[in-house]
């Protein structure tokens, strides 16, 4: 797993930053993930997770959350690079991304919504899900790139809800799809805040718009049958 996931993330980040330095770039926006934020058992449970919260590397190793570990190390590497004075680096940490796709194949984040519409799960863990539209992520990236006052990390998430609440919303909008039948209770994950990004001027679109545009896009590309 070290070779398959962690090394490509870290070495890839370093190579891109080296190329940016050679090109005399003034600012670089690194897209990280809330995976580099949320996996921290030492963060107070009653405190909303903000940009000061980093996923704990030892915890990620112990729980085999290698994607989170890779994202955490890669983002840290970017800031260490910035400390050497070679680049002005800002990071954006999106949550689970939904919305229309440009690529011809399904990406892992789109599978969340697609699976809830077509797989008819007997049961799912009723965990919190944090969602953001891909177009809002793109606008966040441009915002932190263009705003000279943008510094450090920016969590980028729009909505948080339990899986059951999300499925019920999908049922109300698309009643004829194959929805999850039951839900099991699990411990709540932490709350996230995009207040820092919103203070910079970021806005996000309604969840219903993201869902409708996603479903229409999946249907047009043949990933989802029309009702």
Q: What tokens appear for 141 in the block? A: 């990236």
Enumerate the β-bridge partners of residue 91. Answer: 30, 153
State residue 93's pLDDT score.
99
Q: Report domain extents, the chain.
A: 1-94, 96-133+158-227
* Cα–Cα distance, 8 to 76 (Å, whole number): 14
Q: pLDDT (tens digit, 9 = 90+) per residue, 57-76?
A: 999 999 999 999 999 999 99
Structure confidence at residue 190 (pLDDT): 84
Instruction: Considering the candidates 71, 127, 147, 203, report the single residue annotated as catalytic.
Output: 71
Task: Write the DSSP assignment of 2-65 as a string of letters.
Answer: IIIIIHHHHHHHHHHHHHHHHTT-SEEEEE--GGGTS--TTS-TTS-B-TT----HHHHHHTT-
How many CB atoms are closer than 10 A to CB 90?
22
The segments of the chain whose pLDDT lies below 50 read none
Q: What pLDDT is attached to residue 157?
A: 98
Task: Give CA separation, 204 vs 54, 90, 134, in Å.
Answer: 24, 20, 10
187 in Cβ contact with 38 (< 8 Å) = no
| Per-residue pLDDT, 1 | 58
CATH architecture of 1-94: 3-Layer(aba) Sandwich (3.40)
Q: Which pLDDT score is estimated for 86?
A: 76
Is 79 exposed, middle or buried (CB count within 10 Å of its CB: 0-12, 13-18, 19+)? Answer: middle
Which pLDDT score, from 0 to 100, does residue 3 have? Answer: 63
Closest CA relative to residue 118, chosen from 168, 67, 77, 177: 177
191 is catalytic: no
Domains 1-94 and 96-133+158-227 share a fold: no
| Cα torsion 8, 9, 11, 13: sign | positive
The whole-number pLDDT of residue 123 equals 92
Predicted pLDDT at 2: 60
DSSP label of 127: -
Enclosing H/E stretch for 103: none
Could you please state the CATH topology (level 3) that the domain comprising 96-133+158-227 is classified under: UDP-galactose 4-epimerase; domain 1 (3.90.25)
Question: Rounded to whole angstroms, how far apart are CA atoms 102 and 88?
Answer: 29
pTM: 0.93
């Amino acid at each position: 797993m070290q070779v398959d996931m962690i090394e490509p993330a870290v070495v890839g980040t370093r190579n891109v930053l080296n190329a940016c330095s050679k090109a005399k770039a003034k600012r670089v926006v690194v897209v990280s993930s809330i995976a580099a934020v949320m996996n921290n058992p030492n963060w107070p449970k009653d405190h909303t997770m903000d940009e000061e919260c980093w996923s704990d590397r030892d915890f990620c190793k112990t729980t085999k959350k290698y994607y989170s570990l890779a994202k955490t190390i890669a983002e840290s590497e970017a800031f260490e690079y910035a400390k050497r004075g070679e680049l002005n680096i800002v990071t954006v940490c999106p949550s689970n991304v939904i919305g229309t796709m440009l690529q011809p194949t399904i990406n892992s984040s789109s599978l969340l919504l697609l699976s809830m519409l077509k797989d008819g799960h007997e049961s799912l863990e009723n965990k919190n899900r944090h969602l953001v539209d891909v177009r809002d992520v793109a606008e966040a990236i441009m915002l932190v790139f263009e705003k000279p006052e943008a510094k450090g990390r920016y969590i980028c998430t729009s909505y948080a809800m339990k899986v059951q609440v999300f499925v019920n919303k999908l049922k109300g909008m698309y009643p004829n799809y194959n929805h999850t039948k039951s839900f099991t209770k699990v411990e709540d994950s932490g709350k996230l805040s995009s207040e820092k990004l919103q203070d910079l001027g970021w806005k996000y679109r309604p969840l219903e718009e993201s869902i409708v545009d996603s479903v229409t896009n999946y249907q047009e590309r043949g990933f989802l049958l029309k009702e």
